[in-house]
Structure 1
Amino acid sequence: MRELTRVGIDIETFHSEDGAGQLEVTFRPSFGLKAADNAHTFRTSVKEICQSQGYTASFMSKPFEGVVGSSCHFCHSLWDLEGRQTQLYDEESKWQLSEVGQYWIAGLLEHAPSIALLCAPTINCLKRFQPETFAPVNATWGVDNRTAAIRLKVDGSGGTYIENRMGASASNPYLLLAATVAAGIDGIERKLKLPEPMANSAYNPKLVPNNVKKLPTTLPEAIQNFVADDLMFETFGADFIKTFVALKQHEMKRELEAKGKGKSKDWEMDFFFKIL
């Protein structure tokens, strides 16, 4: 944590989490692409520093069954061009969330099933989306609700932010940023209506409205949602989508081969643990 400040990563909090060897680290936000740069530098630095000491730091999302997975909560806020005036907080508005902020979250919910592929980009990542694990299972939002996909944290004009809880620790921060921005802007341009927030557990199907979309839990389902979303096709382009989907198909092939050899429980650890 001390060394990271030398490469521009200002650590705010650092503590242990529920899983064995699982740690949570948060660092100060930055504007624009610098946020993704920081996430990439952080992850790479941690892996290299640990390797130099004889340890393996892994950002594999779900290395152990029955244990909570590791996430990459994408916390973000909206500001004016000068970065001085928040565009999220509005004391007079419902939920103290500005009209622009409401459109933005509505866009995230509208495209949640399709951007899930970039938030949780591997077979292993998608296994996080399980009830009662503090990972989301549906396209819901709530004020300080950690069971929903999108959590709004209201803390005045300087500290109000949106937490996209769909991100897995193995996600690519640049793709996660791009997908989030594309979905949010679409909500603003179309002035999508924000549904009522989840006041209670979003894991309880009796409390979740029938029209709420579920998040994909398998790679084929996630791919299908992604390629069927016109906004994602327009945002990322045909070349990226063709290449990315081919990579995911290779991943599914590896899984089938492992199952055929009776190693369905081992292949993910062998394939993902060290490289992620």
Structure 2
Amino acid sequence: MKVGLFIPCYIDQFYPQVGIATYQLLEKLGVKADFPRQQTCCGQPMANTGCEQDAKPVYRHFVDTFRGYDYVVAPSGSCVYHVRKHYDVVEQTAQVQHVRQATYDLFDFITSVLGVTELPGRFPHQVGLHLSCHGQRGLHQANESEMTPVREGQLSRLLRTVDGLTLTELNRNDECCGFGGTFCITEEAVSARMGQDRVQDHVLNGTEVLTGGDMSCLMHLEGIVRRRQLPMRVMHAAEIFNAALQQPSKPVSTFVPGAVAAL
């Protein structure tokens, strides 16, 4: 299996530790991923601002970069959704169609392609899961509250298998964080209030570590956490699984605010 690792722009620039954790996690699961140095952006920022025609060269470069891989894996549901659903505006060559079909979100790849249903390791903290809109409603990674009251999805199931990890039960488990790419710029007041409401749900229900599969959403929520100086750590789920797999089994410890900062 030949796997290419795609790291989104904001992870590359602001959260490189997430890219490293993703690579290490895949390696621990038996996947030796390549990181093609010529990769750039998937083109989503330009398309979201109404400049999709200008993004076409970026789309073609993405295809040229990853066309030789069996799978393209990214720690971002929004980027994966964009490649799968928005690359229909360029000529549908065999290479374009292959890359669109072969591009997977990290956790979809782990569960659907690798067939992993549980991850060993230990992470003795209460974890609150934020479900991104692209991941949940675009890639159908979790149930939608307007369709069923059952709160379940690929990522939540994996998190529950980690020893010592308790998953927060939120009042509104699949509400949008308010980031929305350029929405947070054009409608900053609404975006900020939505983020504050999302964080408050986690605060009220005891979240110690806020996680998710999309660092763009987590970046927005982390800004609110920092401004309010809350005793809450924000980590991409790849970081949690990667850290958990390094931890020996031991009794559940009592959480002390800031204790997970060393992970």
TM-score normalized with structure 1 length: 0.28
Point out the structure with the larger helix share: 2
